[in-house]
Chains A and B, each alone.
Chain A
């Protein structure tokens, strides 16, 4: 158990819908990262938050957005869902960020039908 929690574990929805994925970092960690893992793209970095502020952006679609709240939990919002958005979404957390270990949560498996 990494200490990072994610909910829900599984999500099945239809195209065009909107979903919210939630992540709670390890106690004391200030940085939260979101990654998407699909069969054909591997593990892709989406976005990073540090202490409530966006710090780095990766290959995140405009239909996706995220935020980190004062209690440091983070939410990833996915809207106008397409079949290709089906993937495992992982959240990871670390201390300050650079040079620190990132611990991954169990992931949310999203299936868009």
Chain B
């Protein structure tokens, strides 16, 4: 079952902040965040691991609530280049996931001047 992202779409002006949420019904080992521009490959932003370790981008932060199986991506002081579709991908805890990711449906972020 795929994680659920909210909101489905966000419209911002440059300099504004946004939060994108990702929620799963399964116990998670890791949450991966990507940004994709139309017709291009998803670009890695951030990975959050069970146990609290984070690796990612300087200007973007994220949180991972292991108890609630939820993650949030925080985009601050947005720039035009932040526009795109944001996906969370989740890897389930347990021995058979082997790192495969199940992706949410995406959140479309549009930043206007």
* Residues of A participating in the B interface, judged by any CB pair closer than 8 Å: 2, 31, 33, 35, 42-45, 48, 50, 55-56, 58, 88, 90, 94, 96-107, 109
> In whole angstroms, what is the CA distance A44 to B32 when docked?
15
4 more CB-based (< 8 A) A-B contacts, given A31-B99, A98-B30: A45-B102, A90-B42, A97-B99, A99-B91
Looking at the assembled complex, report how far the CB atom of B36 sits from the nearest CB atom of chain A, in whole angstroms: 9
Q: A42-B2, A42-B106 are in contact. Are A98 and B41 (CB under 8 A)?
A: no
Cross-chain contact B100 with A43 (CB below 8 angstroms): no
- Residue of B whose beta carbon sits closest to that of A91: B41
Residues of A within 8 A of B98 (CB): 48, 50, 55-56, 97-98
* A43 & B103 in contact (Cβ 8 Å cutoff): yes
Question: Contact partner of B44 among A44, A97, A102, CB < 8 A?
Answer: A102
Count residues of chain B with CB under 8 A from any CB of chain A.
28
In the complex, which of the residues A33, A50, A101 contacts B55, with contact meaning CB atoms closer than 8 Å?
Answer: A101
Whether the Cβ atoms of B32 and A101 lie closer than 8 Å is yes
CA distance A107 to B105 in the complex (A): 19
What separation, in Å, do the CA atoms of A43 and B43 have in the docked complex? 13
Query: Among A2, A56, A58, which residue has its beta carbon within 8 angstroms of that of B41?
Result: A2
Q: Does B49 contact A (CB under 8 A)?
A: yes
User: Contact: B105 with A42, CB < 8 Å?
Assistant: yes
- Select from chain A the residue with minimum beta-carbon distance to B47: A101
Q: Per-residue 0/1 for B71-109: is the Cβ within 8 Å of any A Cβ (1 yes, 0 no)?
A: 000000000000000010101000011111111111000
Once bound together, how far apart are the Cα atoms of A32 and B18, in whole Å? 33
Check A104–B2 contact: CB distance below 8 A: no
Chain B residues with Cβ under 8 A from A107's Cβ? Answer: 40-41
Chain B neighbourhood of A99, CB < 8 A = 29-30, 47, 49, 91, 99
Across-interface contacts of B47 in A (CB, < 8 A) = 99-101
A43-B49 contact given A97-B98, A97-B99, A99-B30, CB 8 Å threshold: no
Contact A104 B43 (CB under 8 A): yes
CB neighbours (8 Å) of B29 from chain A are: 98-99
Bound state CA distance, A43 and B2, in angstroms? 10
Measured CB to CB, the closest approach of chain A to B65, in angstroms, equals 18
